Amino acid sequence: IPMLGLENAMSREELFEFDQRVKKFLGLEGEVAYYCEPKFDGLAVELVYENGLLALGSTRGDGMVGEEITANLRTIRSIPLSLSGDFPSLLEARGEVVMLLEDFQRLNELYEERGLPHFANPRNAAAGSVRQLDSKITAERKLTFFAYGLGRFEGALPSSQSEAISLLADLGFLVSSLRQKALGIGAVADYCADMEKRRETLPFEIDGCVIKVDEISLQERLGEKSRSPRWAVAYKFKPVQALTRIRDILPSVGRTGAITPLAVLDAVQVGGVTVSRATLHNMDELMRKGVLIGDWVVIQRAGDVIPEVVAPLAERRDGLERPFIMPDRCPVCGSGVIKPEGEVVYRCEGLDCPAQIKGRLKNFVSRRAMDIDGFGIKLIEQLVDSGKVRDMAEIFRLDAATLASLERMGPKSAQNLVEAIEKSKGRPLSRFLNALGIRHVGEATAEAVAGRFLTLERVMGAKREELLEIDDVGPQVAASIVDFFEDEKNRASIEKMLSLGVSPKEEQTGAGGGALSGKVFVLTGSLSSMSRDEAKESLKRAGAKVASSVSSKTDYVVAGEEPGSKLKEANSLGVTVLDEEAFLKILSSSRETQQSPAQEEAPLASTPKKQGTLF
């Protein structure tokens, strides 16, 4: 079962919008019961227990495939090696590995004594520790595991999230004592505000709260979008701020050639993290904020995002401050710098600018793209600087001898890299599209496009109108995709990759296996048992397509109350019309013939006995 991510709510208003979406989808009027707990800032892991014994532990990875780290996880005291009480034959517990603040401080003190570099924050320390090759080192660093959900589970399922958590506690897991049920979104918002206030007093770092619809049956109805469930949201705390001084501002060249002003700071702690660089986004922002080199500034860090400069403290100026001037030549390749009409960014015009090539390669090999293990930034720099790789395609020309000739690269690592490169040739189409670095095309869009066209050839030939039919693809994205594949240079680069053996595999759409696979439905009028969105979603889960207008390709028209003209069209075209009752029958029989939908937290039933709670 995939380990999904969470959508963020950045404000109280966005929490209320989440609640509105939930109610609209379910067609509910009354208050929804929610389950709330802190959002731990650590590393997500999954533990598999077979017959009550810890059999396997892994990181979340990309949600589908993670790293196996069982030996390391075994050294964590809050991870039971065997379950207590009435355990099921198979259980997957999911949760977060964190380093408590006191353990983090102790570790950094120890490192200082040994003359080793500090960890920037507890999360980095935790993540670095569980991924150690030597589990003795992991054992030395004290880590803590909080369980927050279930994966696969064999046994009687509980009916709510809160029951599932109590069950985990009964089985011997540590769960958060800060968890709480809240009736209605107002109570949820109060909980979040309270946690935000208490945040600094907790023994571990949290960066927000996780809110889930408590009832599992409602979670099931809500289902999930591509990477996150509709039944949960992460409320993110306001960014933490700090004061420091700008030593210099440098023009930094990104993979699209965009040159952004980057502030070099006197290092400062912001919410437990040492920050020495912050972005000023672009020249317009810099001018608007009126930031000068030498200024004292407020900077802020929101979760994972690069810290940003908020504002200068003009009253602290001593007259020695000076403005940043955008160079007219690229600081990396010396090509001209232009500011395209209507854009706020300055760009390096050089097509072969090493900074751009490095940026593109970094994106290409990254985990969510071609996922070439061991292909780090240092290697990219060496390859580009030595002229051995000038574009993405040339990665596939690298052989062990060339790689082994690089500094700090032994024959064994070179061989491993060659194998990793080979393996990446068969990555799914969506990853490949994400890897190409098409402007405005991120992971979700790449997936949607791959799911729609299935082959690279068809994506390359896709028309603007066809792209616009995809949910979430607007005019800007569609134009960007079309332009990318029309570009001769891009086509040549793709051809080269294909000739070197890259063959992006067709996507598994998941829809293929459904009981209503290939059937086209059109909905009209309103249903009494569910919202239009839920009806659509249920059909999609069963493999059906939902179209917006009736045509000869339509298999069924579902007519609810007060149907529109679509019903007439159905009748005149001789399309089968289903009333609500018939529609529900088709849906439920389709469910019987398919497996129960995958969900993040499978439910369980239990009576809370003891609580394995420490905090």
Which helix (H) or strand (E) segment holds residue 540: the answer is helix 532-541
Q: Is 210 in the site for ligand IVH (CB under 6 A)?
A: yes
- For residue 539 the two structure tokens come to 């059909």
As a whole number of angstroms, the distance between CA 364 and CA 504 comes to 13
Q: Is 222 in the site for ligand IVH (CB under 6 A)?
A: no
Name residues contacting ligand IVH, limited to 593-612 (CB under 6 A): 600
Query: Are 292 and 264 within 8 A, CB to CB?
Result: no
Query: Are 470 and 430 within 8 A, CB to CB?
Result: no
As a whole number of angstroms, the distance between CA 126 and CA 132 comes to 10
Pairing state between β 520-524 and 556-559: parallel
CB of 147 to ligand IVH, least distance (A): 9
Q: Is 44 in the site for ligand IVH (CB under 6 A)?
A: yes
Pairing state between β 53-59 and 273-279: unpaired
Q: Is 148 in the site for ligand IVH (CB under 6 A)?
A: yes
Q: Is 182 in the site for ligand IVH (CB under 6 A)?
A: no
Q: Which stretch binds ligand IVH (CB under 6 A): 226-234, 387-395, 472-480, 502-510?
A: 226-234
Site pattern 46..75 for ligand IVH (x: CB under 6 A):
--------------x---------------
Site pattern 87..126 for ligand IVH (x: CB under 6 A):
---------x------------------------------
- Is 39 considered catalytic here? yes
CB of 236 to ligand IVH, least distance (A): 10
- Give the nearer residue to ligand IVH in terms of CB position, either 39 or 141: 39
- Give the nearer residue to ligand IVH in terms of CB position, either 224 or 295: 224
Query: Are 340 and 355 within 8 A, CB to CB?
Result: no
- DSSP symbol at 517: T
Q: Which stretch binds ligand IVH (CB under 6 A): 228-236, 307-315, 444-452, 497-505?
A: 228-236
Backbone angles phi and psi of 14, in degrees to 5: -70, -25
As a whole number of angstroms, the distance between CA 19 and CA 39 comes to 19
Q: Which stretch binds ligand IVH (CB under 6 A): 2-10, 77-85, 405-413, 418-426?
A: 2-10
Q: Indicate which single residue of 37, 214, 371, 394 sits in contact with ligand IVH (rule: CB under 6 A).
A: 37
Site pattern 546..585 for ligand IVH (x: CB under 6 A):
----------------------------------------
Cα–Cα distances (Å) from 185 to 13, 27, 31, 160, 214, in that order, read 10, 16, 8, 17, 12
Identify the CA nearest to 427 among candidates 401, 398, 447, 404.
Answer: 447
As a whole number of angstroms, the distance between CA 90 and CA 76 comes to 21
Q: Indicate which single residue of 6, 125, 171, 523 sits in contact with ligand IVH (rule: CB under 6 A).
A: 6
Q: Which stretch binds ligand IVH (CB under 6 A): 19-27, 35-43, 47-55, 406-414?
A: 35-43
Q: Is 211 in the site for ligand IVH (CB under 6 A)?
A: no
Query: Are 200 and 230 within 8 A, CB to CB?
Result: no
CB of 483 to ligand IVH, least distance (A): 33
As a whole number of angstroms, the distance between CA 567 and CA 111 comes to 73
As a whole number of angstroms, the distance between CA 491 and CA 471 comes to 26
CB of 154 to ligand IVH, least distance (A): 21
Q: Indicate which single residue of 47, 234, 433, 438 sits in contact with ligand IVH (rule: CB under 6 A).
A: 234
Q: Indicate which single residue of 232, 348, 527, 542 sits in contact with ligand IVH (rule: CB under 6 A).
A: 232
CB of 347 to ligand IVH, least distance (A): 33
Which of 39, 236, 519, 566 is catalytic? The answer is 39
Coil, strand or helix: which one is 481?
Answer: helix
Contacts of 596 (CB under 8 A, 6+ apart): none
Identify the CA nearest to 258 among candidates 287, 288, 279.
Answer: 279
Residues assigned a catalytic role = 39
Catalog residues that contact ligand IVH under the rule CB under 6 A.
4-6, 37, 39-40, 44, 60, 96, 148-149, 210, 229, 232, 234, 600
